[in-house]
Structure 1
Amino acid sequence: MPRYLGKDRIAILAALVAPLAVSAALVPFRSDLLNTNVALVLVVIVVAVAANGPRIAGALAAVSAAVWFDFLFTQPYQRFTVTKSADLQTAGLLLAAGLVVSQLAARARRLQVIAITDAGYLARIHDTAELTQSAKSTDVVIDHVRAQLTDLLGLRGCRFEYGSLVGYPPRLEQDGTVAWRGRHWDVDRRGLPDEEVELRIFSGGRFYGRFMLNPTPGTVPPLQARLVAVTLADQVATALDTTI
């Protein structure tokens, strides 16, 4: 089983079980606890699940937390019925807050700029930034980044296209994910798609062109490498922005 797939399955299982387990543990003390405090505890559980699993895990945890809060902490107990308006509001806020916070946590997990301690990654970023400042031609920067992307992502090849967007190839996003046909492509489990992947070059809302990445079948570049690739491409945007 791939490591990420196994981790995601564990997170989804935790999303279903953890809110129930915590709620059950608090039941003996429910006469001494305010329902708002119980709700806050469950929100913490939702955040913990979302921060360590896929987006769906956070959403499931939020729904699970709201369901068990209703079942165990609102009267009449052990029934999916709420008689007090205050409890109904608390349950609704728990669900809404859980969903929002879980999605934010999942986004933060995906968008986090990983502490790049690998000397090779740091050197690529540093060298490209220096070249961007000193190169007399943007073509020099583009060729440098093209070679860096090929090595960094284990590509069979890489080319740069100026001009408008053509077609709907898979796209490497700014957060290191790949979008294709309106869906998220699971790179960590499936590797890069077996066709050209575009990496768009924008600056100030202006589109300059794109790198077309030709993946090697079976290659699974880690998220850190993909984020570095996006950072390198941004250097090209900086170079083009100052010369065009």
Structure 2
Amino acid sequence: MNLRSVIRAHRLATTVLAAGLPLAAAALLSLVRDTVGTPTVVLVLVACVVVAGATGLRSAGLAAAVSAAASFDFFLTQPYGSFAIHDAEDLEAAVLLLIIGGIVTETALWGLRQEAALARQSGYLGGVLATADTLARHHESAEDVTESVGRRITELLDLDSCRFVPGPPPNPGAPTFHHDGALVRDGYQLNIERDGLPVDAAMYLLVRSGSQVRGHFVVTAATHIARPSLEQRRVAALLADQVAGWLAGSGQHVTGRSVHGSPQ
């Protein structure tokens, strides 16, 4: 079984368990439904949805929300053991359970996405600081510096290869990364989020010190569709700027070296 199949199986199992949690809770609450008020029942079922939403799977959270509303209807509203609802307040509670469940799920997913974004930003900052530390070692050769930075750019942008070449790029119309993260080809900005990096051409990442282009990284992603975020592309440009500053300060010259990414 490959990794993708394992992930699918895990998501399916998590969604099934999430749907079963409110069902089990409602079944247990039905044993004491004469002594437990509707507000308490709703809070317990909402708590089940919160637990499901915390898994980070929208399917799990929504399945739990639907299950909570249906279980409340079946076990805890009259006529018991039926999905019919005769009391307007019970109908309102069931609908609110479904709505609250959906809101809780989306809120939990938003929080998880924010946490993941912060973790990525921390990782990017760590990479920039590590690169700055490498450039601060004056005993490093220019080849070692550009190879080290090329490796980080390869990982950051999910590339096949990254090679430093001295001087300006030979083809100004080729896809070129700008400092704002845009990738421009023949004067037109490409939609990386939608289409991914071009697989039919090498791309350039300029190593510029002021108005002087000291070199460029030739990057390729021909074997797969890579979709680095705007933030990742901006960090890559920042790494290239660090190389430019180091070359300007050290006065060293460098020949090209290729850095290859991990096999896809």
TM-score, normalised by the number of residues in structure 1: 0.59
**Distance verdict in 2 for CA 1:44–1:237, change over 3 Å:** farther
1:100 aligns with 2:103: yes
- Quote the residue 2:159 is aligned against: 155
1:165 aligns with 2:172: no
**Distance verdict in 2 for CA 1:215–1:49, change over 3 Å:** farther
Deviation at 1:69, TM superposition (A): 0.4
Q: Which runs of 4+ in 1 moved over 4 A?
A: 114-117, 119-122, 127-130, 144-147, 192-196, 215-219, 229-232, 234-239
Deviation at 1:61, TM superposition (A): 1.1
Q: How do 1:71-86 residues align onto structure 2 when only pairs under 5 Å count?
A: 71-86=74-89
The residue type equivalent to 1:61 in the other structure is: A
Q: How do 1:106-125 residues align onto structure 2 when only pairs under 5 Å count?
A: 106-113=109-116, 116=119, 123-125=126-128
- Quote the residue 2:172 is aligned against: none
Q: 1:46 aligns with which of 46, 49, 72?
A: 49
Deviation at 1:108, TM superposition (A): 2.4
- Quote the residue 1:214 is aligned against: 221
- Quote the residue 2:40 is aligned against: 37
Matched residue SS, 1:155: coil
Computed over aligned residues only, the root mean square deviation of the Cα atoms, in angstroms, reads 4.1
Matched residue SS, 2:160: strand
Matched positions, count: 184
**Distance verdict in 2 for CA 1:218–1:90, change over 3 Å:** same
- 1:166-219 CA deviation, whole Å, 9 max, x = no partner? 4x65x2xxxxxxx67xxxxxxxxxxx99958xxxxxxxxxxxxxxx97265599
Q: Sequence identity of aligned pairs in percent?
A: 32
| Contact residue 129 and residue 235 of structure 1 kept, 8 A | no
TM-score, normalised by the number of residues in structure 2: 0.55
Q: In the aligned structure 2, how far is the partner of 1:67 from the partner of 1:233?
A: 46
Q: In the aligned structure 2, how far is the partner of 1:66 from the partner of 1:164?
A: 51
| Contact residue 194 and residue 217 of structure 1 kept, 8 A | no
Structure (1 or 2) with the larger CA radius of gyration: 2
Q: In the aligned structure 2, how far is the partner of 1:68 from the partner of 1:147?
A: 54
- 1:108-147 CA deviation, whole Å, 9 max, x = no partner? 2233237859x986530435799xxxxxxxxxxxxx9875
- 1:69-121 CA deviation, whole Å, 9 max, x = no partner? 0111111111111122211111111110001111221232233237859x986
Query: Which runs of no fewer than 5 residues in structure 2 stay unpaired?
Result: 134-147, 163-175, 178-182, 201-218, 240-264
- Quote the residue 1:233 is aligned against: 233
**Distance verdict in 2 for CA 1:195–1:23, change over 3 Å:** farther
Query: Which runs of no fewer than 5 residues in structure 1 stay unpaired?
Result: 131-143, 172-178, 181-191, 197-211, 220-225, 240-244
